Amino acid sequence: AQSVTQPDIHITVSEGASLELRCNYSYGATPYLFWYVQSPGQGLQLLLKYFSGDTLVQGIKGFEAEFKRSQSSFNLRKPSVHWSDAAEYFCAVGANTGGFKTIFGAGTRLFVKA
Amino acid sequence: EPEVTQTPSHQVTQMGQEVILRCVPISNHLYFYWYRQILGQKVEFLVSFYNNEISEKSEIFDDQFSVERPDGSNFTLKIRSTKLEDSAMYFCASMGTSGNPVFGPGTRLTVL
């Protein structure tokens, strides 16, 4: 069955430090992969997506993610975190299960300390 | 850039009442979805809709739920008799042929 695992429930980093949020997926075919960010009480904002091609994808707000097929991973990175990056981050896979749907991970809450 | 819109942004209802959540998908999209996010939890798939019929639904989407595309522009989710556990944020999404769903801003449903 298709699934997405985000092993870290929450992460705290200092402002200006680098960030890596982990994501592993389980899907039989070549996946469509997404990272979304959600501020409290708000909707889902797409940070970046991977469909095919270059395995390092660039997104908005200085984020990037690398698709590693051998590890079934799609980790999100940012070289220097800003206080405004504090939010919940969801990794997701687009799965074709008869119809196409998006399967989300449980999310990682990012805290940024001054 | 085209957006998915949802109304209302917040709906408060009494347990047992019917609610209808409305969505306007992107005009040339063909696939439509509803997702649910209970406070503090992950986003869960409810139902997908294509060619005027449900293409897939989750175990959450029981007989209390229904979807409709009444006029070619709106896409609605109806909950017939709301329960306390239906309190959640409900996201509509639509998708064209790209495989890239576009999510709406959500409707927060509070059942008292």
What are B19-64's pLDDT values in tens digits? 999 999 999 899 999 999 999 899 999 999 998 899 999 999 999 9
pLDDT tens per residue across span A15-54: 999 999 999 999 877 789 999 999 988 889 999 999 988 8
- pLDDT bracket for residue A102 (50, 70, 90): very high
Distance between A22 CA and the closest CA of chain B, angstroms: 16
Q: How far apart, in whole angstroms, are the C-alpha atoms of residue A67 and residue B78?
A: 38
Residue in this structure with the two tokens 């239906």, named with its chain if needed: B86
- List, in order, residues 6 or more apart from A106 with CB less than 8 Å away: A5, A6, A9, B41, B42
Non-local (6+) Cβ contacts of A84 within 8 A are none
DSSP A38-86: E-TT---EEEEEE-SS-SEEE-GGG-EEEEEGGGTEEEEEESS--GGG-
Q: Which of B4, B9, B36, B45 to mutate to test the interface with A (most CBs of A within 10 A)?
A: B45
pLDDT of residue B104: 95
Q: Six-digit token pair at B99?
A: 């495989």
Confidence at residue A100, expressed as pLDDT on a 0 to 100 scale: 85
Interface-testing mutation among A45, A100, A109, with chain B (most B C-beta atoms within 10 A): A100
Between the CA atoms of B25, A25, B57 and B92, what dihedral angle is there, to the nearest 10 degrees?
Answer: -20
Instruction: Give all strands (DSSP E) within B1-112, no chain letters.
Output: 5-7, 10-13, 19-24, 31-37, 43-50, 53-57, 65-68, 75-79, 88-95, 102-103, 107-111
Q: What Cα–Cα distance (Å) separates residue B13 from each residue in B16, B41, B44, B85? A: 9, 21, 22, 12
pLDDT tens, residue by residue, B4-28: 999 999 999 999 999 999 999 999 8
Name every residue whose Cβ is closer than 8 Å to that of residue A18 and which is 6 or more positions away in sequence: A77, A78, A79, A80, A81
Amino acid A39 reads S
Instruction: Please list the residues that pair with B11 across neighbouring strands.
Output: B109
Q: Which residue of B has its CA nearest to A51?
A: B99
Q: Which residues of A touch B (CB under 8 A)?
A: 32, 36, 41-44, 46, 49, 51, 90, 92, 94, 97-107
